[in-house]
């Protein structure tokens, strides 16, 4: 079938099962926006290219399917670099198509030209500069394969204008459906080595104080059920990193919650005291380990990851297994079964009672606001958690509100937590929530955002309003760049430098209304519940609820940067308790 490159691009995207495209047109990508009119793919018109990228990420987080964004060349391509890097750090499957100046003009500093593949080389799993229209079907097929297999990640496809422009003879091509991949150097590993899995099973059977350290790889591998089976078979407690909140249910008796810099005391301390860490799809990130030399000093390590470069990158494992988390866990469960299953596990009652002792002495806690005080953000999040359906999808920005949400929410289902972990991208929440809602219109989607974050990407609420994505935003307004303020309080002798954002400017209620949303403002604890109920009732447009919160609240527990996890600082009200 004869067609032009632009038509081929649309057909190739349709063939990959793409139903939604987040984008914004411009000069170099303009010819592709014509065949888009005749395509089955729905396009969501964003207000800033960064929004398109984060929406694609949110869509991928919530659905497991690759998110797709399409933008033009030059400044549009540079605007989407942040989402690419975010997706690279958090292993989010995403395909970004960028327009490029005509092939013959590349390298001439043409209008809206930039070296997109050069700029994005270090923030993508792979990228392409397509030079011939005839390459488009194969490149798109390969791009989706790379984005979604092995350790998932973002792939960028840069397409010069002339090969998609029907008015240019270089765009003429004959359609073909690729039936294989042209990737001689790409062999994503799947199953784990069975001998290594047997060795791991033996270590599990010998451990007296084991902890399962579960990371984002659980969700990427659709391994939540397998993890549950492993934990219940062995009775081993599970910590869920920031990237795996929801990958193991918070209401399960074996769940210890989030470890790390702002993890809860029990999760942090159980890892410190463990004699075996079973790391599943986790990468020993510095926010989890604290000072590496002092991290889990007594523990042997079983490390399972699809990316062999993670094995031994930070901590030398005793058993390193490269493979897909779901397949390896299933094989580990079988291997444990051969060793006697639950019968093979040593008596761990003493370990369990130490853990429950920590849980009793050091629960998450905060002081309720006094009469003359503004809201406590933790109180707002508890109210929101209790007033929303159990399978609500929560997206967050980055900072104190993100940590409180991860701490206080009860994540009982996988794929309900959408956040920026590795890159820590402020402004992630609103576009990511829109992407999640676009992918899961059946679910209630709340974005929990800070006032600093909100001001970075609020314009995408226009996209939500006009494209029909009725997300809800809980804006934790504490008038500060709160996490930076906390560090200046704790580590810079309360010398506050450039962290005050002002309390009343902008007027968030009016701004929300101007953006096409319902705007609500809450200042006292008794208004919190009714405002959330009101927001939950609204389903025909987005809602922004501004919660006016205390500025001086700190996130606890906290492991100060560079310190050992054994030096975790607990809430001031718990500091006299025996550890």
CA distances to 8, 18, 141, 178 from 15, in Å: 10, 7, 9, 10
**Selected catalytic residue, list 7, 11, 16, 49:** 49
Question: CA 311, CA 315: separation in Å to the nearest integer?
Answer: 8
Helix (H, G, I), strand (E, B) or coil at 13: helix
**Selected catalytic residue, list 11, 125, 161, 220:** 161
**Selected catalytic residue, list 112, 199, 459, 574:** 112
Question: CA 254, CA 66: separation in Å to the nearest integer?
Answer: 32
- Inter-residue contact 98 to 137 (CB < 8 Å): no
Please calculate the CA angle 533-534-538 and round it to the nearest 5 degrees: 115
Nearer to another protein, 15 or 189 (CB): 189
User: CB-based burial of residue 206 (10 Å sphere; 0-12 exposed, 13-18 middle, 19+ buried)?
Assistant: middle
Nearer to another protein, 19 or 307 (CB): 307
Identify whether 558 is a catalytic site residue.
Answer: no
Helix (H) or strand (E) holding 256: strand 255-257
Nearer to another protein, 110 or 119 (CB): 119
Q: Which residues bind another protein (CB under 8 A)?
A: 117-118, 121-122, 125-126, 129, 146, 183-186, 307-309, 312-313
Identify whether 483 is a catalytic site residue.
Answer: yes
Q: Least separation, in Å, of the C-beta of 182 and another protein?
A: 9
Question: CA 487, CA 162: separation in Å to the nearest integer?
Answer: 51
Q: Least separation, in Å, of the C-beta of 292 and another protein?
A: 14
Tokens 């270590």 identify what position?
Answer: 203
Identify whether 49 is a catalytic site residue.
Answer: yes
- Inter-residue contact 52 to 22 (CB < 8 Å): yes
Q: Least separation, in Å, of the C-beta of 559 and another protein?
A: 26
Q: Least separation, in Å, of the C-beta of 249 and another protein?
A: 33
Nearer to another protein, 196 or 465 (CB): 196
Question: CA 442, CA 270: separation in Å to the nearest integer?
Answer: 38
Q: Least separation, in Å, of the C-beta of 104 and another protein?
A: 15
Nearer to another protein, 126 or 348 (CB): 126
- Inter-residue contact 110 to 101 (CB < 8 Å): yes
Nearer to another protein, 130 or 230 (CB): 130
Q: Report residue 234 as tokens.
A: 């062995």
- Inter-residue contact 50 to 80 (CB < 8 Å): yes
Q: Least separation, in Å, of the C-beta of 174 and another protein?
A: 23
Question: Active-site residues: which are they?
Answer: 49, 111-112, 161, 483
């Amino acid at each position: 079938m004869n067609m032009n490159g632009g038509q081929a691009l649309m057909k190739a995207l349709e063939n990959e099962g793409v139903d939604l495209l987040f984008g914004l047109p411009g000069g170099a990508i303009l010819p592709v926006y014509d065949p888009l009119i005749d395509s089955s793919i729905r396009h969501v018109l964003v207000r800033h290219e960064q929004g398109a990228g984060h929406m694609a990420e949110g869509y991928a987080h919530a659905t497991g399917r690759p998110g797709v964004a399409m933008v033009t060349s030059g400044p549009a391509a540079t605007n989407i670099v942040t989402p690419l890097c975010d997706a690279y750090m958090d292993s989010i499957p995403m395909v970004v198509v960028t327009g490029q100046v005509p092939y013959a003009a590349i390298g001439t500093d043409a209008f809206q030209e930039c070296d997109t593949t050069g700029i994005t080389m270090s923030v993508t799993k792979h990228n392409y500069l397509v030079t011939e229209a005839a390459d488009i079907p194969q490149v798109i097929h390969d791009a989706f394969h790379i984005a979604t297999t092995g350790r998932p990640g973002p792939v960028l496809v840069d397409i010069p204008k002339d090969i998609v422009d029907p008015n240019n003879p270089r765009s003429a091509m004959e359609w073909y459906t690729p039936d294989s991949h042209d990737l001689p150097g790409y062999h994503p590993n799947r199953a784990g080595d069975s001998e290594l899995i047997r060795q791991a099973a033996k270590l599990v059977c010998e451990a007296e104080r084991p902890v399962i350290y579960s990371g984002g790889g659980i969700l990427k591998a659709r391994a939540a059920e397998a993890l549950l089976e492993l934990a219940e078979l062995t009775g081993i407690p599970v910590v869920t990193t920031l990237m795996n909140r929801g990958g193991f249910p918070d209401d399960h008796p074996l769940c210890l919650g989030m470890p790390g810099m702002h993890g809860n005391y029990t999760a942090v301390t159980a890892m410190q005291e463990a004699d075996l860490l079973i790391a599943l799809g986790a990468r020993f990130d510095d926010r989890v380990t604290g000072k590496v030399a002092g991290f889990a000093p007594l523990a042997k390590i079983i490390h399972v990851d699809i990316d062999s470069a993670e094995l031994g990158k930070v901590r030398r494992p005793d058993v390193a297994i490269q493979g897909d988390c779901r397949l390896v866990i299933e094989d580990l469960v079988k291997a444990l079964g051969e060793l006697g299953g639950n019968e093979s596990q040593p008596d761990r009652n003493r370990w369990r009672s130490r853990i429950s002792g920590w849980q009793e002495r050091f629960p998450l806690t905060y002081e309720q606001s006094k009469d003359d005080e503004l809201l406590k953000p933790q109180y707002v999040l508890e109210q929101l958690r209790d007033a929303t359906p159990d399978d609500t999808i929560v997206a967050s920005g980055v900072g104190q509100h993100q940590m409180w949400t991860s701490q206080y929410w009860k994540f009982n289902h996988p794929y309900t937590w959408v956040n920026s972990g590795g890159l820590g991208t402020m402004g992630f929440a609103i576009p990511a929530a829109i992407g999640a809602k676009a992918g899961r219109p059946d679910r209630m989607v709340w974005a929990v955002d800070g006032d600093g974050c909100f001001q970075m990407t609020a314009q995408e609420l226009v996209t939500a309003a006009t494209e029909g994505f009725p997300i809800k935003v809980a804006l934790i307004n504490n008038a500060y760049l709160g996490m930076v303020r906390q560090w200046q309080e704790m580590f810079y002798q309360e010398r506050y430098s450039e962290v005050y954002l002002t309390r009343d400017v902008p007027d968030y209620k009016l701004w929300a209304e101007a953006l096409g949303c319902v705007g609500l403002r809450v200042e006292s604890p008794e208004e919190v519940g009714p405002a959330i109920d009101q927001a939950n009732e609204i389903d025909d447009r987005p809602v922004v609820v501004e919660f006016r919160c205390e500025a001086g609240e700190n996130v606890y527990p906290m492991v100060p940067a560079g310190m050992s996890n054994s030096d975790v600082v607990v809430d001031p009200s718990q500091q006299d308790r025996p550890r």
